[in-house]
Structure 1
């Protein structure tokens, strides 16, 4: 739906589905109720998540026509896609395999290009479209700096191949499509700083001569195209986990003329640990409720001296809760954005409020997407019927922007 600073939607990765048939059934079951509660008088957008299998099925002309007819009948449209999880994303152990296959592989490139061709066919006239994707790979898969650097270079070359495809689509249709890279804890690109450095020192350095030669362009023209077609996916949860300064990041992105393709509106868990041993024990008990086996729930701990300790999952962080130098925890567990506190824990909702204020004051993207995908693994007391949960979150964003 159109709000005062862009198009707002939710990511359909909240719906459990292994293939397009299951995905479409979930949309047909839930979307009409959500639209009635959130946007009864205007068309409403969808942030479509498709697995590799679902993308192959939807690429069949008959299935695509059926979906486009359903979109028109239900006053719905697709302007952004989530291309981060390649395979199953619910009711299985995902953990670090959410990155697989990573950007060092042709499988990831081919899957992403397929998503863009679907988006090309679904995108309303006059809108830009984006596909968010993983931060190149999972950093702990690489045993030393040489392996890490080699993986980063291989991944960058695959992304440049996607840019070539997007330039071709733009020349053919006039559509502006962008690949939105999503930094997250323990990705090769983990922070805003790492994304900006990669963009300047890897993507542009490798990409400018390749794009210039392939399309017979000047270096300046090639740089402009790379900046048009590769953007940042600003997942608020991920940036909040790293205690990142939103205004400073956005200012540097603007200075470097690097675009934000999409805001993923999401909240992490946090707690103040600067208390007694008894209070730490209680906080540990509250956090342990969220230690579930499906997804990675990395923890970034803030120490008294301002330095950070990174834990690859919630379990190893729980084992270190008695470290007296640590004053705060933030954990990668997407909790409902409309909830500020749960027990002794808080959410990073204030980071969302800050970023939405910045977006409202001076819009830096057209795409806003609520992304709380942990519905099935939330503690029971936080669960609502899915359509109600999504509606609550979207209406909370609308109220916050207003």
Structure 2
């Protein structure tokens, strides 16, 4: 079952999460005509800790989800908290995987997901950040991060018959910037039964990596795709002719890394920086999660072609989650319930066309 990620909602306590689910997830489920709707929960660190410490609270939470026809297969444990603060930017990469707080938070998420996991799920997945922002980072940090993953894996092994798996999500600008970086780091450092890849197709597109070649590289490695975040980046073929259109997306909350394709891939850590420093002679990909069903007016476009290629060649049946967290900062975003429902319809249709399971 395809899920939508609830990190689009700002709630950071259980009561607030339930209010957001009642306000958005239930109407989405009803609009789609579904008996059950997959929700990829985002739990802030305090919520995860409170639930992990209280089995009765987990059971009540699960009962509330069941009563609403909401099914949980996956958690998003990339943002630790404050994901809807006025300015997030680099704070989303803190704490990093060398920090005890990151380990404790992820273990809490493991224990919570084990009790929330839908009855028909073969495994649970938890997406997580690609170690840290790229600097500072050292060989010693590599060793500490590998030890941190092993501690989480030990916790996951203790949860029961259905494994809870970590899905490391490469992102531009981070220590594991690309899928190739993630494959190189994860190989021989982690238990492949419990740690794999979260393939975010927006991030993949921004890197300008060939999606078919990327899938082939993953298949040739020891690393499995545990989770796919079905997402699309902003694409601009001629940035020099699109400055006014691009300016509408240069918002202050989230980091919007930019890559320009030329003889080599040029890099900028945020859209305002790119508009100032990059030459704009080649096409740009911008880390701005665009609604899957949108077709922006020229000169803007999106990278749903990358997502379609991934779905066509996807091995196995990893969890699939629509993760457009940017609705609150999108120009002319419109109705959120209608937008989420439209994205899920688009994703289901794309999955059906490519022969994947929805």
TM-score range, shorter chain: over 0.9
- Secondary structure of the structure 2 residue equivalent to 1:131: strand
Select 1:199's aligned residue among 186, 194, 198: 186
Kept in 2, the 8 Å contact 1:166–1:177? The answer is yes
Post-superposition offset of 1:357: 1.9
Once the 2 structures are TM-superposed, how far is the Cα of residue 39 of structure 1 from its aligned partner? Answer: 4.5
Structure 2 residue corresponding to 1:249, chosen from 192, 196, 214 = 214
Please tell me whether residue 88 in structure 1 is matched to residue 78 in structure 2. Answer: no
Structure 1: state its 5+ residue gaps: 1-6, 205-225, 274-278
Residue 150 of structure 2 corresponds to: 160
Q: Which residue of 1 aligns with 2:356?
A: none
Matched residue SS, 2:223: coil
Secondary structure at 2:220's aligned position in 1? helix
In structure 2, distance between residues paired with 1:27 and 1:92: 22
Deviation at 1:69, TM superposition (A): 1.5
Asked whether the equivalents of residues 137 and 187 of structure 1 are also in contact (C-alpha less than 8 Å), the reply is: yes
Q: Which has more helix, going by share of residues?
A: 1
Query: Aligned partners of 1:83, 1:26: CA distance in 2, in Å?
Result: 18
2:322 counterpart of 1:373: no
Q: 1:48 is matched with which residue: 41, 50, 59?
A: 41
C-alpha distance in 1, partners of 2:162/2:13?
Answer: 28
What secondary structure is seen at the aligned counterpart in 1 of 2:193? helix
TM-score normalised by L of structure 1: 0.83
Cα distance in 2 for partners of 1:58, 1:27 equals: 17
State the Cα distance separating 1:156 from its structure 2 match: 1.8
Do residues 110 (structure 1) and 69 (structure 2) align? no
The Cα shift of 1:127 comes to 2.0
CA contact (8 A) 1:20 1:57 kept: no
Equivalent pair of 1:340/1:349 in contact (CA under 8 Å): no
Distance 1:63 1:39 in 2: 30
CA contact 1:130–1:179 (8 Å) conserved in 2 = yes
Alignment of 1:315-330 (within 5 A): 315-321=272-278, 323=279, 326-330=281-285
Are residues 76 and 18 of structure 1, via their aligned partners in 2, closer, same or farther at CA, if it must alter by over 3 Å? closer
Matched position secondary structure for 1:66: helix
Q: TM-score, normalized by length of structure 2?
A: 0.93
- Counterpart residue number, 1:258: 223
1:334 partner SS = strand
What is the Cα-based RMSD across aligned positions, in Å? 1.6
**d(CA) in 1 for partners of 2:297, 2:253:** 21
Aligned with 2:325: secondary structure?
coil
* Aligned counterpart for 2:307 among listed residues 341, 352, 361: 352
CA 1:191–1:39: 2 relative to 1, 3 Å: farther
Partner of 2:126: 131
Contact 1:262 1:367 in 2 (8 A): yes
1:340 touches 1:348 (CA, 8 Å); kept in 2? no
8 A Cα contact 2:215 2:313, kept in partner: no
